[in-house]
A and B are shown apart, each in its own frame.
Chain A
């Protein structure tokens, strides 16, 4: 057979893997088995499933998007180092240099905040300078922020167990923790598209919303001391939280990203920054891809939420304000996708819609907790 076309043929995923991919997979599986051996008696069968499920998901993610490998290994190594430094003593957060200034959960999250804001600034500088190098620097900062944020969350998870074994829980249980998660997921989805579309020009826009979230986190820390770890109320003590919340935030993150790309699209279509931004078609495509993935995950999250509600509140759907607004968000993006996929609509209308969609989403995310009362009252301001 002809060599040329064999080279062009798509290679199945498993055949594309190199030794590093396998080493990475081995590390993750070995880590999970180790954790399972040590802690399985503290986990119910679902949580055991999640442990290995998470390992498989991150192996797959690392295989299809290589930078994830470095991120996962980095987060793992730094978190383990922090745990080693803690030596099961919470007071060491203030005594050990590395913990105090770098990788205790609070320091980690602070570094994340600083790095995200820097990344935002540098992305904008890169946009105006049209500088490839500056853009790369901004990406590195964003990656570093993601690394520190995840380390912060991981270490926070460990710290919660140091407060008291019965206080320990995954850090996705209150508004502060999910805001950190929101920053991380939005940034990660952005970084994926940045690589996929080989364009860094959208970074400034997307990082603006991440920076806004960082601003909220800072206010929340300094004004409300929201970073103190609180024990879980009985309603949240469930394995469902571990899947419902992160899935939801993939949705929120993707919607936020789409809205910011929508802003860039609208500016560009009016000739503002048009020469510096990617083509309208590219932005349109990013917006669509982002809303599509957000919609898929938001759907799953809502279903998981319904299943949890059936177990905790006595019904899969109670027309609680949060549930109702989730439905409104869902209908909103369902209509968006319908118009695009079925009616073939393109252009500024959809961009506007994505931007307005963010307001609806934000209301569902925080507005409901601020203005309406209901069963989802964990994240009260």
Chain B
């Protein structure tokens, strides 16, 4: 029995054990940096597949640093280091006090760093010289009588070096204990015993059951809350594995205002939240502004500015129909984080407004090296059909300048992994989207095609005698082309060419067709303007470019995924501030441990323990020996210096 516990003690306090623990700790830490921690579990399933996902989950690799085994290693490290201190420090402290005055002449002669002198003058003079020599060089000394009437001066310096060992090891224990206190050990224990469990359902905080709530008595935590402007909360959330816990707070936090300031270049300069803390113990609410690097501490809980998001901005859209022969638009109101159902039954689509950003700092230059600029607000939303399939859209409120021209830009993607594909609607001569929408309606209006075709033939065909057969044939092909375009854009036109033109002539036909479409577009645009009571467009380059862009855009509508375009007209911005709330009572322990660590390291490295013996014999021979607990170059240098100096001194 005795031997078993002794063996365990020996193992735990051995350096080999500590080093093994540290190695495992190091490897575990590396895993934690390579494998992204605390991601939503679905990401891991996608990444590793079901089998490995489960293996890794059992191993706790998704939150390595809070897994039971990791914390156990830390506990053993504390234990092992403590035992190491317990085992070695009494010896070290004794060593510090020892003078080693019992050294024999024989043992001194065995030193590698020794020298013998024949001194002049009286023994008293020699002793005075030697003790002064030692004192001026920072040695403490003591003179003892030695065998055969000799006297031995024993001296030591830098014995505090040994405190360095004790300090550094103690520091590691103190820091680890501090860290363990601030880790979620109490929760881990309660979870293992079945008292607590992680909530995985997305339900309001008030409905979360007690087993997933942590009371205000919880010693340490690191939780988050998202507060929209003008709201308040007295609970915060701790994300854990695939769910969360609710941490109750001993006070209520309200957000009055959240501000983002920007540099002249548009990059964010500061994030600030005006908070109001209400607490029954406070005579009046505590108001404070926090920002990044400037947190607020109240009742031992520190509140940090951690991030921000939309807090439910009100959005006013003009919803434009993208198909059909009429210019139709409809006002639609949306609120970020809320949903809106349009249409009925199988036709119903749900708009999920996810985010609104007031500032977007983008680099729109072609080579990507131009200046960053603020391109104004955008809104991100999903359009979900009755089968639950969703596409994500991002739409900019103001026209963006791309390659020197302005467009209303809206991106679409079918899955979150894809990049956005952008629809670029050119602005009209009034910088609006209306011009394009009117043009689109005419282009998709089968009834208008006839008029367009006849106008085009009037302007395109030679003005000489009417050749009704040629004219009829031309107009018919214009109508056919317009119909194809209205049904599927350039893709449909390309299909038409493939169907009806022999391969050798396709290129030429395509060129002709494009010319015709361009011509028809010009007529269509003028017709659209006529219907809107506007004068015909000037046949200048500006109009040509507008029509080209419009045709491209029209052609892209067929890939846009929804039959409507949500134009953001107005917004009422409401932000939400992301706060982090922490209580870490272990912090002071960690800091004191850190101070000990630094002191210890400097003591270990920069204090050198050296011992000197000077044996003064009755015949005035002096035997000088120096040793250090570390053999290195410094000792050699010091020895040869002292050796020469003593030579001069004792001559």
Contacts and interface: CB of A to CB of B under 8 A. Distances in A.
Interface of A: 2, 4-5, 8-10, 164, 166-167, 225, 230-231, 233-235, 237-238, 281-282, 284-285, 288, 292-293, 295-296, 299-300, 303, 306-307, 310-317, 319, 321, 324-325, 327-328, 331, 335, 337-338, 341-342, 344, 368, 372-374
A315 B182 CA distance: 9
B55 interface: no
Given A9-B136, A335-B19, A368-B33, A303 B648 contact: no
Interface of B: 15, 19, 22, 25-26, 29-30, 32-34, 36-37, 64-65, 129, 132-133, 136-137, 179, 182, 222, 263-265, 267-271, 291-293, 295, 302, 304, 306, 369, 580-582, 584, 587, 590-591, 594, 597-598, 601-602, 604-605, 630-634, 645, 648-649, 651
Given A5-B648, A166-B263, A316-B590, 20 more contacts: A8-B649, A225-B369, A230-B267, A233-B267, A234-B270, A234-B293, A288-B632, A292-B605, A310-B584, A310-B587, A311-B293, A312-B293, A314-B306, A315-B182, A316-B587, A327-B29, A328-B30, A337-B605, A342-B15, A374-B33
B598 A234 contact: no
Nearest to A319: B65
Contacts of A310: 584, 587
A231 B33 contact: no
A231 B598 contact: no
Contact of A231 (B133, B267, B594, B604): B267
A186 B478 CA distance: 76
B584 A315 contact: yes
A335 B651 CA distance: 47
Contacts of A234: 268-271, 291-293
A303 B594 contact: yes
Contacts of A292: 605
Nearest to B28: A324
Contacts of A338: 15
B468 to A, nearest CB: 66
Majority secondary structure of chain A interface residues (helix, strand, loop or mixed): helix
Contacts, number: 131
A-B interface, 4 closest residue pairs, ranked by CB to CB distance from nearest: A234-B292, A321-B33, A314-B580, A5-B649
Contacts of B633: 281-282, 284-285
Given A315-B222, A315-B582, A344-B631, A10 B32 contact: no
Contacts of B270: 234, 237
Nearest to A225: B369
A166 B32 contact: no
Contacts of A167: 263
Contacts of B268: 233-234
Contact of B269 (A231, A288, A319, A335): A231
Q: Looking at A230, A293, A331, A368, which has the most chain B CB atoms within 10 Å of its CB?
A: A331
Given A234-B270, A285-B633, A341-B604, A325 B33 contact: yes
29 contacts: A2-B129, A5-B645, A5-B648, A5-B649, A167-B263, A231-B263, A231-B265, A234-B268, A234-B292, A238-B293, A281-B633, A285-B632, A285-B633, A285-B634, A296-B602, A296-B605, A310-B584, A311-B293, A315-B182, A315-B584, A316-B587, A317-B590, A324-B32, A327-B29, A335-B19, A337-B604, A338-B15, A373-B36, A374-B33
A331 B20 CA distance: 12
Given A9-B136, A167-B263, A319 B597 contact: no
A231 to B, nearest CB: 4
B26 to A, nearest CB: 5
A4 to B, nearest CB: 5
A319 B32 contact: yes
B179 A317 contact: yes
Nearest to A12: B136
Contacts of A285: 632-634
